[in-house]
Structure 1
Amino acid sequence: MLRYSLWLKSVSHAATELDSVRPQSAGEEQLHLQLALAISKEEHDREERRRRAEEAKEEAKVQMVIEQSRREEQVITYFSLFLILRISKKAKNIRANNCFL
């Protein structure tokens, strides 16, 4: 019985608290709604800014990888040309030496 009495007091206290925060007029309710909407919009805008910043970071990473890939491809191309020229030069030297034999 004591537990029920404590529970009843707790429920009664919660109901009283709820009544104390409930808007007392239509104007006050309108202010509560406007405040809730403003808070929600601010949270949305903050999340949107965070998401855009994250996307910008990811885009920067992608651009860095693309640029690194281009540089590596350029090095490979230059090295390939170097090897081709070197082989070509050796081939010319061999042909020139064979002509004198």
Structure 2
Amino acid sequence: MEERSYEVETTYQLKYYISSALISINQILQPCNENIKVFDSEIQYYRYYVDGLFYFLGLINDRFICKYNKSDDLSRKKIERIESNRNNYHFSEEEYTVYSGSVVKTKI
């Protein structure tokens, strides 16, 4: 039962992160003049949504990619959850290079 509740929570969180990223993309590609007026400038508007997009991409990334640094202290449980996510959602680094590499993010 515990494993099932984890999958439900993970699916809910992933849907939230993905929909939030898609909203940010929509606001970047199809800006609304009424929304832009809320900000001091158009540059601030775009910066807000680009930052939001990268934030949510990072959260999605954290569900599938293990980042090993000397300062990182990844618990065994987190590594197991990441592996479960990769298996349950059929994640492949080759198919989703935007999450697994920094080249695409650097270009943006």
- Per the normalisation by structure 1, the TM-score is 0.30
- Per the normalisation by structure 2, the TM-score is 0.28
Greater fraction helix? 1
- For the pair shown, the structure with the greater C-alpha radius of gyration is 1
Greater relative contact order, per chain length (Cα 8 Å cut-off, separation 6+): 2
